[in-house]
Structure 1
Amino acid sequence: MRHKKDFIPAMGYDWLTGFYDLGIKLFMPEKKFRTRLIDELQPASGETILEFGFGTGQNLILVHERNAQTTLNGVDIDPKVKAIADHKINKLGYHLPLDLYDGKTFPYGNNSFDKVFSSLVFHQLDTASKQSCLKEIYRVLKPGGILVIGDWGKARSGLMRFAFYAVQLTDGFKITNDSVKGLLPLYIDQAGFKDVTESGYINTTIGSYSYYRARK
């Protein structure tokens, strides 16, 4: 059996995981940033879509509610957030399969998905893990498939840079340094994606949340 790679929990510490949804509501413009994420994804009927790092399941729920004619899957490394997400999804009566993985290889074949999206995951990965996960996303996307990422980007002002220290204190300065430098688009490009763009951003109380799109 493969050894599961160490990971940073959703709020930096395992004991805070249960407060993740509350933290998002308190510190993020939740409806605004999630709606924009799904607008960027543009879920279409008949598409197969994967969320990398499904967390507590809220994004998958909203994508399903936007278009129930998509086939959705989620993959994450953290069994604690999976339990939270399973509870929320089952309570709503939705069928949204959630899978755990070992931090290395996704449990899907090559060219499996039309689109892959992710939110607030990559800033918690070290550089090597970012690169490895982007290669896995590239592998499981179909040719011409779309990648959409929402995550912390380079601060748009001195105030946003100061605000982002709150995230760095929780998730670690070394891990989040790539976000400070705005390096995620470079890593997406290096993984083989085309048409890499930052399509927009939203300033929040804890930093600048950016949207990235790319194509396999």
Structure 2
Amino acid sequence: MNTVNRDTVIVKKKEFIPALGYSCLTDWYDLAIKLTMPEKKFRGKLIDELNPGDGETILEFGFGTGQNIILAHQRNNKAALTGIDIDPKVKAIAAHKLNKLGYNIALCLYDGTRFPYANNTFDKVFSSLVFHQLDRATKLACIKEIFRVLKPGGQVVIGDWGKAKNKTTRFSFYLVQMLDGFKTTNDNVNGLLPVFIEQSGFQKVTETGFINTKIGTYSYYKAIK
């Protein structure tokens, strides 16, 4: 049974880039995704890759406005889901959605450094559209934290912007870079995220697929601890 307190808050947070790059735009995040990406397709494939099983303990790193963790729960409500994020504004949005649906899923805020979980806690960790908002050092630190909290044999599933598959998606991705910053997004578009995953100790690192969207190439990565 999931025992994480959904109201756990660590108040001294590391600086972070909000959804859409600016806190004032966070309320428009869900609409922006609907307008610029094939939402049903890319989220559905993310949950397909996650494949939540009965009784599995699953953490979403960067739950955002809650769309993915809701879909994971709807796919299998016998999985024990937990979400972690740094942004209190998105937590309020996600919590409102969960309360409206009557879903009891733990949502935790953390300080942007060490995850508040013991070693070898989760069967799976998944994440979507988070790593392109992190600088290289933070990317590596967060992947190492994911490795730490996964059980041996556990699986990580990451969906995020990857290396553009054609000139059109590379050009359109400049919009994302202007909002979220070139410093944090360059590693993604240069195809380095799977390299960082492997450097953090994971095995069988694989890009399992991608979707070309109006604003870039969204890629799926899986690996095993």
Q: Same fold (TM over 0.5)?
A: yes
Indicate whether 1:47 and 2:56 are aligned: yes
Alignment match, 1:206: 215
- Look up the SS of the partner of 2:222 in the other structure: strand
Indicate whether 1:162 and 2:171 are aligned: yes
**Identical positions, percent:** 69
CA distance in 2, matches of 1:12, 1:64: 28
Match of 1:34 among 21, 35, 43: 43
- The alpha-carbon deviation at position 3 of structure 1 amounts to 3.6
Structure 2 gap segments, 5+ residues each: 1-9
- Look up the SS of the partner of 2:21 in the other structure: coil
Structure 1 runs (4+) deviating above 4 angstroms are none
Q: How does 1:1-216 map to 2 (within 5 A)?
A: 3-216=12-225
Q: TM-score, normalised on structure 1? A: 0.99
- The alpha-carbon deviation at position 2 of structure 1 amounts to 7.5
- Look up the SS of the partner of 1:5 in the other structure: coil
Partner amino acid, structure 1, of 2:36: F
Q: TM-score, normalised on structure 2? A: 0.95
Partner amino acid, structure 2, of 1:146: Q
CA distance in 2, matches of 1:108, 1:174: 29
| Backbone CA RMSD of aligned residues | 0.9
- State how many pairs are aligned: 216
